Amino acid sequence: MKNYSIWQDFKRNDLKKLNKNIECDILIVGGGITGSSMYYHLHKKFKTILVEQNKIGDGVTSRSTGKLTFMQNDLIDKIRNQSNEKASLYIKSQIEAIDIVKKIVQEENIKCDFEKTESIIYTDKDEEIVKLKNMKEFLSKNKIKIDSCNLDLIKSKYAIKAFDTYMFNPSLFVYNYLKNKENVYEDTKIINIKRIKDYYFCYTKDYNIKTKYVILASHYPYFNIPYFFPIKSYIEKSYLMAGSKRNNPISLISYSSPFISIRTYKNKMVYLSNSNNSYNNINDTKNFDDLIKKASDIGLFPSYLWTNTDIMTSDNLPYIGMIKENMFIATGYNTWGLTNGILSGKIISDIINNIKNPYINLFNPKRVNLKKELNIVTNISKNAVAYINGLIKHNNNHICTHMYCPLIYNKDENTYDCPCHGSRFDINGEVIISPANKNLKVNDK
């Protein structure tokens, strides 16, 4: 049994580490799918530096399901509850993101197991059949070819499928794109950012980077708390496995919670379930046991086990754009980080280049939705419960270096996990996943 993602299981060479002070036009902090898209859209016109605190493509990107699709469970309907116009624009943005990936793969000749497939949303609940039929009609009105279908892999009462969607290995995509690029550094952690006159000075332990623009392309925005971000969002945790089961290529997801997501990869299948608010998921072993039991119902047994955390926003739309002068964030992807991470590179590049982009207002991190912002009270409660549950299961004497939430030891993956904001540390105290950017002192008692 391998307690890491199937996407991480490939041979890689270490990239260079920053070893001098340097000056650039744009600094990208984060070497996942978001950072790679930023680099693609910006580096030909600007001197662009990308830094990753760990290994390129080895963070949250490597913990996803590797799907590129606009068939995103009930998310489209949640956005439709605000307006059909927003939902239509969101669907258009996801299709554009897929097209960008296709373009990068072809232009750069990237080997990443890129594969076209049908995407399916299904339900096994009678009360959701009408909802899926309405979604089918809505997608058809948006000029998307969509059909009803039957499933033999998993129990369902109604299902719909779309055709022009894809799957890939996201870590291979990021690594193979960035590995030979100029001014890309891994094992390079930014520990402080200061604004001095017209520039940002971004500091590692030994060196600094002087830049006009900073793009925070990590999983969670850190160094500041922009626009009350921690209380405008919450963390969702998912449990994933991969195991051998030969099947025709397939990509499917349940319409509503408790979500089940399945896709094929070579001779294996990737299975996700038990997605839930992080504050509830304090017993990883129990959730893994439940995941394995569900997967065994279709004859799938694990050779890989891992978890992922996603940032969920109050209005179900990402935060992509400028948060203050010449500083940008891209986060809050509501479990669909691959398409939205790719899309963020185009949006922020267009802002910097003063080019009109139809999605700037939709994803503006400064937007205010008074009706949805009422969820702030709920999110405060979720973060508070996460903190309390961290105290209840706080059996390792370690406190997160981000906002001092008690950490939970995840014995299945041998990590220290933060239930409040999703930070993760390895057994030696090294930061694996932000927003924390300071290591633990694991010997402290």
Helix (H, G, I), strand (E, B) or coil at 136: helix
Number of domains the chain contains: 2
pLDDT of residue 386: 53
d(CA 62, CA 32): 8
**Phi first, then psi: what are they for 388, rounded to 5°?**
-65, -45
Q: Is the pLDDT of residue 422 over 90?
A: no
Same domain, 411 and 363: no
pLDDT of residue 196: 95
**Within 10 A of 345 (CB to CB), how many other CB atoms are there?**
27
d(CA 323, CA 365): 7
Amino acid at 443: N
pLDDT of residue 414: 84
The token pair at 168 is: 């890939």
Q: How far is CA 131 from CA 137, 147, 157, in A?
A: 10, 15, 12
Residues 6+ apart with CB under 8 A from 379: 231, 232, 233, 234, 314
| Residues 97-152: tens digit of each pLDDT | 999 999 999 999 999 999 999 999 999 999 999 999 999 999 999 999 999 999 98
Q: Please answer whether residues 231 and 380 qualify as being in contact, where contact means their C-beta atoms are separated by less than 8 angstroms.
A: yes
Q: Please answer whether residues 324 and 279 qualify as being in contact, where contact means their C-beta atoms are separated by less than 8 angstroms.
A: no
By percentage, how much of the chain surpasses pLDDT 70?
89
The domain boundary, picked from 325, 355, 370, lies at 370
Same domain, 16 and 45: yes
Helix (H, G, I), strand (E, B) or coil at 271: strand
Q: Which residue has the higher pLDDT, 254 or 279?
A: 254
The token pair at 430 is: 């090294």
| Residues 170-223: tens digit of each pLDDT | 999 999 999 999 999 999 999 999 999 999 999 999 999 999 999 999 887 765
Same domain, 320 and 216: yes
Same domain, 420 and 408: yes
Residue 127's Cα: distance from chain center in Å?
A: 30
Q: Is the pLDDT of residue 388 over 70?
A: no
pTM for the model: 0.89
**In this structure, what CATH number is given to the domain that contains residue 36?**
3.50.50.60
pLDDT of residue 401: 83
The domain boundary, picked from 351, 370, 389, lies at 370
pLDDT of residue 279: 47
Query: What residues make up the domain containing 177?
Result: 11-62+172-229+316-370
